[in-house]
Structure 1
Amino acid sequence: MSVTTNNFYGAKGRRKIYHISKVLDENVKKLKSDKIPKDFRPRIDGPSVGWKTFFRQQEAFSYARRKSSDLHVFSFESESLGSETGQRMFLVASYPVFWHYYRQLDQQKKTHYELIPEGSVCKLYFDLEFPKENNRNCDGSTMTDIFIKYVTRWMEEIFKVQCSKEHVLSLDASTEKKFSRHLIFQLKKTAFQDNIHAGNFVKFILQKLKVEINKLKKNLSDVLDFDETSFISKSDNSSDEQTVPCVNRLDSQRRSQEQDKNNHKASKVMDRFTEEELLSMVVRNKNNEETLFCDQGVYTKNRNFRLYQSRKFGKSNPLVISEDNLYIPPKDEVMSYEHLIFNDSLIANIEYSPALRILQFALVCQFSNRLSSGNVEAKTCGKAEDIVEGFTKSPYPEIDNFISSTLKTDSKAGRIRHWTYFSQGELIVYDIVGYRYCHNIEREHKSNNIMLLADLKRGVYYQKCHDPECKYLSYKSPDKSIPKEALPSFYFDESFDEFDEGVDDMDILNAALEMEKTIDDRINENMDKT
């Protein structure tokens, strides 16, 4: 009796062989479809040809600084890292080398971001977005045109910089559900000192816009259905001055004079817009709350900003040139049009020259007397030596262990990715990954990470997060007590407590609380995606 293959392996064995064969066929098809990229040809006068990947951002930055000044850091999301969004790898390459390989990638593999380095001179950029379902009457293109006009008026008023829509590269990643637009200003021989200064400028002009819109809402309250409290932040209730923290306050007389100048400049800008145009920049977010359609959370230290032609991991909407874009890059005999657009889309890609003008907009409470020349007086909140940060254990491991213990649930456990210690206010800020529960929305954020702040003076900790909407509301969770045995004071004799009673240094405490508002400038990565 002859034994056939089917009889020998049986039904179970045949199914297993079929499954293996199917997997092999799929892998063969995938390998055939993957293109082998052409190598970059090095030139004597050319850029660095190195290309190196890292699991940690700080290692990538250290390598780039150590090897060559023309190396830059990018990040990307990959299938090999698992399905959880927010976890990325980092790569270091020069701009020409990166583009050479990036342009050869299949479209679905382009999930890359530019890392805007801390302290790097940069372009002015914006992220505009709103959910279409809650804003059915909004025309995103028209709103973008009005917004560009609004920004250019302020650039002229503050910095005496002339620009228009033709100077703005407009990239679009909109879907049926969401309007999404990136704007990158191409200002000739002009750049901001870094993206923190750019962010201060953006927050200032949007604060002025909010104040003006609130005035209009009061005047039109009988006609328009506005929720008067949903749009006004805590800082809007008292005055319309810039709401950036400043330890060294101006005296009342000077503050009044500067406020008058400030209001006069705002009036000159607002007078160029109709009420309808100003109100058109208000949208409703996914929670149906009123807000501006410009994301103010994209101006943080070592910011990830999505690259031209890239999409978010698992999504199918790449960032492409918008249909109403008017910016045309200068012609080049060597570079293709797409290469030129890619270069111009990079926020930190600034050509240095003696004629380069650096714009500053530092942390101040008011404009300074130097405003007419395009500068803003710098007032810092704390010295650099008052701040310590790292990735491993902080100076207070007992606090680290306690914070780590609060990040565990039955199904998962978060961890401390980075800590920052502010000695002036005895405040430790923990940047958390793997655990995103936010007390504001009473659930986990889908992609934005949270922070836990330990106030060693008061013996409490609380939660804040990177989500733009929570940051817009200045959300801070209720205080929770830190166990006494975890606090540094536990190791001191209680007999010394009588010397501390009633002599709390409120100035230092207030400075620490104000410093919280600029905490995004000191943490190593904001994982809020754009």
Structure 2
Amino acid sequence: MNNSIIPARFYGHSLTPLFNERAKKVQEAKKHIRYSDPWDINPRARPLTSPSPYKQEFWKQNEALANAAELSEYDDILCCFVFQDENERRRFIVTYPEDFWTDCERMPLEKRVFYEVIPELSPCFLYYDLEFEVDLNPDKDGVRMAQTLIHVTCEYIAYHWKCSCDRRAVINLDSSRPGKFSKHLIFSTSDFAFSNNYHVGYLVKMICSDLVDYVSRESAQHDVLSKFSKESLEELFIETNKGKKLFVDLNVYTKNRHFRVYKATKWGKHSHLQQAPECQYSWPKKPKSKEMEIFLNSLVSYMPRKKKLQLLSFDQDKKSKILSYSQHTEMKQNYAPKEYAKSPYPVLDKYISELIKPGKVRDSKFFEIRQLIIYEIVGFRYCENIGRWHKSNNVYYIVDIVNKTMYQKCHDEDCAGFISDPKRLPVEVTFYFEDECDPLFLDLNDYNAKD
């Protein structure tokens, strides 16, 4: 006996009710997905091999990063991006990079204020943020300076890891505008990346330190820099309102850094990152979309084939080594964020923590002889020097136990040397170290905190 159901008897003679029911379910599912305005919902046809559409919006960065990490798979990578509005509020968007770019292309240029979040402890490519004021440096050739820096960096990589790269592996993006030279360089190499952006920062800071030392000496010898003419290396130093320095921004290698993406600008400015005319990156011969190809390859932390990469490691002690992706994963899994070191005064710790909410104390250091406590802060960047929040660099507080006062400083280069007016600590806090004060207090100007 045949118990099969006749399709016509089950569905009826029309499939319309079935399609209507399916449409209702699709619309109901869309209600549970928080699409980020400023974008409209505009589903597009996509190949079966592409990742499924996904987009979530968060107000808190840690929630966004956790969401991206939890739902990403080896060949299905979600990234965390930042949208900044005209009030400098930042929202975090978790989605697939391909979908992010498709949405970006539909937006007006002036509203493309987007950043990539470079997750802490995650593999990334080496990157630079270069800039200088043209009015103070009218004779400088920024294009030539960037090329010199690329060559120097490639030589350092070859010296420390025996890995080869050249300008064809570097994506050169330019956002210069009248009065200011500005570039992003991303070493989007095919066979290696770095363990995380801290290691990138250690290498870049060492290169810059070596350059300062090498150029300042008349008869200096160096394993890498001696390969270049002194004149070409001296050209990398520019004039600022605070003296001469390298044209490299060293503040972009911090935790969960926000790094502007291709074709993005800053609010109120028309300085979108564009592919520089002198960029010699080796693009695919026939990419499906050249614009999307530039965007995807210029992301610092997006590497869908990362398991095939070698990861270069470079720590604070200048020790270099090469890890496989599996070794890096094991090291990252063994990493557990430690609670910050407490000071000898719990009431003071609590007072500072309450003062900076919603920020947190990342670390504290107690200098017993000088009777100073340094509180490093994250999530609270209000600087008394400029009267507003810094966009990226953190502030820190210095507590003077002897005088029962506190000062604010910050890690931004433009505020170097600034110390806020002293603020008297409340009696309910100073009560607990009233009898322990020691007259051994040294001038705060002697302390030079480093990020």
TMscore range, shorter length: 0.7 to 0.9
Measure the CA separation in 2 of the matches of 1:45 and 1:116. 26
Q: Which amino acid aligns with 1:310?
A: A
Partner of 1:179: 181
3-state DSSP of counterpart to 1:268: coil
- 1:311-343 Cα offsets, whole Å, 9 max, x none, are 11111121000011111223466x311111111
Q: How does 1:491-530 map to 2 (within 5 A)?
A: 491=432, 494=435, 497=436, 517-518=450-451
Q: Which amino acid aligns with 1:64?
A: A
**Residue 337 (structure 1) aligned with residue 295 (structure 2):** no
**Residue 280 (structure 1) aligned with residue 235 (structure 2):** yes
Partner of 2:42: 38
Shift in Å at residue 491 of structure 1? 4.0
Measure the CA separation in 2 of the matches of 1:291 and 1:502. 38
Partner of 2:274: 320
Measure the CA separation in 1 of the matches of 2:234 and 2:340. 41
Q: How many residues align?
A: 384
Q: How does 1:448-467 map to 2 (within 5 A)?
A: 451-455=395-399, 460-467=405-412
Over 3 Å counting, the alpha-carbon distance change for 1:311 and 1:192 in structure 2 is: same
- 1:105-156 Cα offsets, whole Å, 9 max, x none, are 2222211110101111000000110000000000111111111111111111
- 1:61-114 Cα offsets, whole Å, 9 max, x none, are 2332344442221001224xx3xx4x3111111112212212222222211110
Q: Which amino acid aligns with 1:451?
A: V
Contact between 1:421 and 1:427, CA under 8 Å: does it hold in 2? no
Partner of 1:71: 78
Partner of 1:307: 261
Contact between 2:310 and 2:322, CA under 8 Å: does it hold in 1? no
Q: How does 1:220-299 map to 2 (within 5 A)?
A: 267-285=222-240, 287=241, 289-299=243-253
Contact between 2:411 and 2:450, CA under 8 Å: does it hold in 1? no
Measure the CA separation in 2 of the matches of 1:35 and 1:304. 21
**Residue 59 (structure 1) aligned with residue 67 (structure 2):** no
How well do the aligned residues superpose, as a CA RMSD in angstroms?
3.5
Q: How does 1:54-203 map to 2 (within 5 A)?
A: 54-69=58-73, 70-79=77-86, 82=87, 85=88, 87-203=89-205
Partner of 2:330: none
- 1:467-503 Cα offsets, whole Å, 9 max, x none, are 2344xx5x4627946526354x734795xx5xx9899
Over 3 Å counting, the alpha-carbon distance change for 1:395 and 1:385 in structure 2 is: farther
Identity %: 28
Partner of 2:7: none
Partner of 1:437: 384
Partner of 1:15: none
Partner residue of 1:477 out of 419, 437, 440: 419
Measure the CA separation in 1 of the matches of 2:293 and 2:163. 24
- 1:342-381 Cα offsets, whole Å, 9 max, x none, are 11100001234554211111112xx45xx5x669xxxxxx
Contact between 2:79 and 2:302, CA under 8 Å: does it hold in 1? no
Q: Which amino acid aligns with 1:278?
A: L
Measure the CA separation in 2 of the matches of 1:162 and 1:104. 38
Contact between 2:364 and 2:374, CA under 8 Å: does it hold in 1? yes
Structure 1, 111-120 or 62-71: larger mean CA deviation: 62-71
Over 3 Å counting, the alpha-carbon distance change for 1:448 and 1:112 in structure 2 is: closer
Contact between 2:39 and 2:103, CA under 8 Å: does it hold in 1? no
More strand by share: 2
Contact between 1:131 and 1:178, CA under 8 Å: does it hold in 2? yes
Partner of 1:362: 315
Partner of 2:304: 351
TM-score w.r.t. the length of structure 1 is 0.64
